[in-house]
Amino acid sequence: MDEADRVLSAARDLRSSRSIRLSVHSSLAMRWLLPRLPAAAASGLDLSIDVREELVDFVAGEADAGLRFGVGPYPGLHSTRLAGCMIQPVVGAAHPAARRPTVDPLKDETLTLLSDSGAEKFRTGTTWRDYRQLRGVPEVSDHSVRSFDRADLMLQAAIAGLGVGLGRSLLIEDDIGRGLLVPVGAAVRVKAAYWLVTKPDLAANSGIRSLEKWLKEQIRLTLGQRT
């Protein structure tokens, strides 16, 4: 009975703990989350970040929660929509297109488009093809395209001046604020959104609730940089 009491007490302590293993895709981790970890620690959150492209097994305990980007929701998991998403073409500050505020990257065939193959693989609706369809612009076959495995690599290539990257909310605001990236062309809203997912039995955990509140506040502050 004493051992059972200790186990139950440990389980209660775990459910109320603010220490969380958070799974995040690499692009979101590198371009947005990691620079904000000191703020998370200052707010009392103890986050352990697991960066990977593939999905984690929550049942097997590989992570306590995940920060995901997609149409959602996620069957079998407790899903909280954190924010919607816009996609916005961007170029590095030294790129010639940065000095042409009226340039439309879909219509200027002299521009090289930088693509993220992960958007194709995971069908997030954030490819150049999706962008054309949302804007109602016909396909142009003469555009030069360079492809990268991940969105963070594609955006770094844009900063380096290799072409026009198709950025999305949260991944570009910091670099725009620093003057490293410049928006060109129109921004459009997509169906995909940012979600916090966890097992249903962890949804009421005080740490998960605190993480959700903190993420929403950080997203609000980030998106407010461009307003």
Q: 105 is written with which tokens?
A: 């990257």
Q: 101 is written with which tokens?
A: 């505020």
Which of 70, 50, 69, 68 lies closest to 60, judged by CA? Answer: 50
pLDDT-derived band of residue 226, with 50, 70 and 90 as boundaries? low
DSSP classification of residue 75 = T
Domain boundaries, the chain: 2-83+193-226, 85-191
15 has a pLDDT exceeding 60: no
Which of 199, 224, 195, 227 lies closest to 212, judged by CA? Answer: 195
Q: How is 109-177 classified by DSSP, letter by letter?
A: TTSEEEEEHHHHHHT-S-SHHHHHHHHTPPP-TT-EEEEESSHHHHHHHHHTTSSEEEEETTTSHHHHH
Q: 1 is written with which tokens?
A: 């009975």
pLDDT single digits (tens) 73-104: 899 999 999 999 999 999 999 999 999 978 99
CA atoms of 186 and 200, how far apart (whole Å) = 39
N- to C-terminal Cα distance for the chain? 59
Per the CB < 8 A criterion, the answer to whether 216 and 117 are in contact is no
The rounded radius of gyration (Å) of the Cα atoms in the chain is: 20
> Is 85-191 in the same CATH topology as 2-83+193-226?
yes
Average pLDDT over residues 157-169: 97
Average pLDDT over residues 116-123: 88
For 2-83+193-226, CATH gives: 3.40.190.10
pLDDT-derived band of residue 141, with 50, 70 and 90 as boundaries? low
CA atoms of 200 and 151, how far apart (whole Å) = 30
pLDDT of residue 18: 54
pLDDT of residue 101: 77
pLDDT-derived band of residue 225, with 50, 70 and 90 as boundaries? low
Instruction: Report helix, strand and coil shares of the chain as percent, to nearest 5.
Output: 40, 25, 35
CA atoms of 16 and 116, how far apart (whole Å) = 39
CA atoms of 218 and 68, how far apart (whole Å) = 15
Q: Higher-confidence residue: 57 or 17?
A: 57
CA atoms of 68 and 214, how far apart (whole Å) = 16
Q: Higher-confidence residue: 223 or 13?
A: 223
Q: 8 is written with which tokens?
A: 């139950």
pTM over 0.85: yes
For 85-191, CATH gives: 3.40.190.10
| Greatest alpha-carbon span in the chain | 76
